[in-house]
């Protein structure tokens, strides 16, 4: 949780008459009832948005149940337990804990590339946009960004780059194709499954390795009907986030074959990524991972009712993302976005920062919706506008 967000939560607490210390000492914000009678709902995050107090209480409860066996430099104990659980969920032989998704993607493409140094990525991917050229600066890889503005690339997009690379004056090869799905920069849109299958088959025939950035992968089955394993089987390695849906303080899982993952802890450590004690940041993920698909489905049940109620009001325009997953856009047809968000925050409902002109909110459906009745939630929005 960043400082700004922490302070904004403190602000929300103050507005509801719950000062931060009172909250931390007496009861969690999750359990607290806000003026509308519902519990805290946060549309700005992928998970529950646990406060430091709630997070600490979760850890303490797990420790009391002896559910946490400490690790040493991110090896053994609860780290191994989590890695084994995720390897099985993802249908891979092995998994390794990595302290961030940024490092998980980097380690994956670095390992898979071997001596074939070019990597195809989506132009909209996190690796291309949000990692400051880590792959080229730290690992000597050249990223080839394809399909700007689109979530999906096809065989027609990649084939010319494969022949161009093979036909250059200096020998060079594409070692890896990386796919991000859902795509964060495109409103959590999914990569089309048929195109994914075709690209992966095309790559396999040419010996090119495949990595999936599935930070939010566990939301995909609900929207597409494809199981997690139907997707992961196409790839050599898969990364999923532990902090987005599963409420860990930080962290990622990178899964793949024993040949790829065994021994990768040396490179994790080389990049400064072997936390001497990882258990405090990941222990709660094991709890929230169990039953996540059901919890997400329940959240969408409520979100659907809530969105239908808002769509019937002239003050709002609700837009779903084509091929989308957890995100929708909420536009106000009247009134100021900042004031609207501030009024909701005082009632225990957090919105993301407004974007665009006229402004809209990139709203994320997550398990925190399960704390509120959708009719009440809609009433709050209507009153606030």
Ligand X SMILES: Cc1ncc(COP(=O)(O)O)c(C=O)c1O
Number of H helices, E strands in the chain: 17, 12
Size of the site for ligand X (CB under 6 A): 11
Do 363 and 330 contact (CB within 8 A), yes or no? yes
Q: Which is nearer to ligand X, 102 or 237 (CB)?
A: 102
To ligand X, the closest distance from the beta carbon of 20 in angstroms equals 25
Does position 247 interact with ligand X (CB under 6 A)? The reply is no
Residue 251 CB partners (closer than 8 Å, separation 6+): 97, 98, 99, 100, 241, 242, 243, 278, 281, 282, 285
To ligand X, the closest distance from the beta carbon of 107 in angstroms equals 12
The residue from 8, 28, 100, 129 that contacts ligand X (CB under 6 A) is 100
To ligand X, the closest distance from the beta carbon of 72 in angstroms equals 22
Site for ligand X in 163-202 (CB under 6 A): 180, 184
Q: Which is nearer to ligand X, 29 or 216 (CB)?
A: 216
Does position 102 interact with ligand X (CB under 6 A)? The reply is yes
- CA dihedral angle for residue 81, residue 84, residue 87, residue 92, rounded to 10 degrees: 160
To ligand X, the closest distance from the beta carbon of 317 in angstroms equals 26
Q: Tell me the H-state helices in 91-208.
A: 101-113, 126-129, 134-139, 155-166, 193-205
How many CA atoms within 13 Å lie on the side-chain side of 85?
16
Query: Residue 180: beta bridge partners?
Result: 213
Q: Which is nearer to ligand X, 105 or 323 (CB)?
A: 105
The piece of 27-35, 69-77, 94-102, 374-382 that touches ligand X (CB under 6 A) is 94-102
Distance between CA atoms of 90 and 238, rounded to whole angstroms? 8
Site for ligand X in 263-322 (CB under 6 A): none
Distance between CA atoms of 74 and 79, rounded to whole angstroms? 6
Q: Which is nearer to ligand X, 126 or 245 (CB)?
A: 126
The piece of 51-59, 99-107, 287-295, 320-328 that touches ligand X (CB under 6 A) is 99-107
To ligand X, the closest distance from the beta carbon of 363 in angstroms equals 16
The piece of 8-16, 97-105, 224-232, 341-349 that touches ligand X (CB under 6 A) is 97-105
The residue from 110, 126, 302, 347 that contacts ligand X (CB under 6 A) is 126
- CA dihedral angle for residue 345, residue 348, residue 351, residue 354, rounded to 10 degrees: -10
* Closest residue to ligand X using C-beta atoms: 101
To ligand X, the closest distance from the beta carbon of 110 in angstroms equals 15
Question: How many angstroms separate the Cα of 208 from the Cα of each of 155, 192, 211, 245?
Answer: 13, 20, 10, 30
Does position 252 interact with ligand X (CB under 6 A)? The reply is yes
Eight-class DSSP state of 368: G
Distance between CA atoms of 20 and 180, rounded to whole angstroms? 38
To ligand X, the closest distance from the beta carbon of 194 in angstroms equals 21
To ligand X, the closest distance from the beta carbon of 103 in angstroms equals 7
Does position 151 interact with ligand X (CB under 6 A)? The reply is no
Distance between CA atoms of 66 and 178, rounded to whole angstroms? 39
Does position 117 interact with ligand X (CB under 6 A)? The reply is no
The residue from 82, 199, 212, 215 that contacts ligand X (CB under 6 A) is 215
The piece of 100-108, 221-229, 270-278, 284-292 that touches ligand X (CB under 6 A) is 100-108
How many CA atoms within 13 Å lie on the side-chain side of 163?
5
Q: Which helix (H) or strand (E) holds 349?
A: strand 349-350
List interacting residues with ligand X (CB under 6 A). Answer: 100-102, 105, 126, 180, 184, 213, 215, 241, 252
């Amino acid at each position: 949780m960043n400082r700004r967000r922490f302070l904004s939560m403190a602000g929300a607490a103050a507005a509801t008459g719950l000062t931060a210390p009172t909250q931390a000492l007496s009861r969690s914000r999750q359990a607290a009832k806000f003026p509308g009678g519902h519990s805290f709902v946060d549309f700005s995050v992928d998970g529950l948005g646990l406060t430091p107090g709630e997070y600490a209480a979760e850890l303490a409860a797990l420790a009391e149940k002896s559910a946490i066996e400490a690790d040493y430099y991110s090896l053994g104990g609860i780290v191994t337990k989590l890695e084994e659980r995720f390897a099985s969920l993802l249908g891979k032989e092995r998994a390794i804990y990595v302290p961030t998704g940024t490092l998980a993607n980097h380690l994956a493409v670095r390992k898979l590339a071997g001596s074939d140094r070019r990597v195809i990525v989506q132009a909209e991917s996190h690796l291309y946009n949000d990692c400051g050229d880590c792959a080229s600066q730290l690992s000597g890889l050249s990223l080839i960004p394809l399909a700007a503005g689109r979530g999906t690339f096809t065989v027609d997009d990649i084939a010319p780059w494969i022949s161009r690379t093979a036909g250059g004056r200096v020998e060079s090869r594409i070692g890896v194709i990386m796919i991000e799905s859902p795509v964060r920069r495109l409103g959590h849109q999914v990569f089309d499954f048929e195109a994914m299958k075709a690209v992966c088959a095309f790559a396999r025939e040419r010996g090119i390795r495949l990595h999936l950035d599935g930070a939010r992968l566990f939301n995909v089955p609900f929207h597409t009907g494809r199981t997690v394993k139907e997707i992961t089987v196409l790839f050599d390695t898969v990364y999923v986030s532990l902090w987005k849906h599963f409420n860990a303080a930080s962290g990622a899982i990178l899964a793949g074959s024993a040949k790829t993952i065994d021994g990768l802890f040396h490179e994790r450590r080389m990049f400064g990524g072997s936390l001497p004690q990882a258990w405090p940041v990941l222990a709660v993920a094991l709890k929230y991972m169990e039953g996540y698909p059901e919890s997400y489905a329940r959240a969408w049940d409520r979100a659907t009712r809530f969105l239908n109620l808002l769509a019937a009001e002239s003050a709002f325009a609700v837009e779903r993302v084509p091929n989308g997953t957890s995100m929708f856009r909420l536009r106000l047809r009247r009134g100021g976005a900042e004031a609207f968000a501030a009024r909701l925050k005082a009632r225990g409902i957090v919105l993301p920062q407004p974007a665009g002109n006229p402004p809209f909110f990139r709203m994320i459906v997550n398990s925190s919706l399960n704390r509120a009745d959708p009719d009440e939630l809609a009433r709050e929005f209507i009153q606030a506008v």
